[in-house]
Amino acid sequence: MENKKVFAMKFSDIYPLLVAKAERKNRTKQEVNEIICWLTGYTEKELQSQLDKEADYSTFFNEAPQINPNCKQIKGTICGYRVEDIEDPLMQKIRYLDKLIDELAKGKAMEKILRK
């Protein structure tokens, strides 16, 4: 039932942690937003709206305008799991986001992170 706990977490509680992780490595909130918008299809304004209404992870991803089709190119391990092998679609999207922010914090170029 661990997934249910994660799905119910407020994205507005997770978001500052994502930003802090990036900023500790001299990356920016703007880069975090760019990654989130690339992955979900949200505009900056729509992202802010999700944060303001304190949407949980489940709602945040279910209301996403369009998950980027290039997300299938995101490969590798996060939290001990290979993102490409995660069977639950919602958990996979959450881990995609974790992986992208991880890549940002590790200094990867935005073009590579955004699979351009």
Query: Which tens digit of pLDDT belongs to each residue from 8-53?
Result: 999 999 999 999 999 999 999 999 999 999 999 999 999 999 999 9
Token pair recorded at residue 45: 């304004």
Say how many C-beta atoms besides its own lie within 10 A of residue 90's C-beta: 16
Q: What is the pLDDT of residue 46?
A: 98
Structural domains of the chain ordered from first start: 2-107 (1.10.8.290)
Amino acid 84: pLDDT: 94
Please tell me the predicted confidence (pLDDT) of residue 87. 94
pLDDT at site 80: 87
pLDDT band at 1 (very low <50, low <70, confident <90, very high): low
- Phi and psi at residue 64, to the nearest 5°: -60, 130
**Which residues are within 8 A (CB) of 81 and not within 5 positions of it... i.e. 6 or more apart?**
95
With b meaning 16 or more CB within 10 Å and e meaning fewer, what string describes 51-74? beeebbbbbbbeebeebbeebeeb
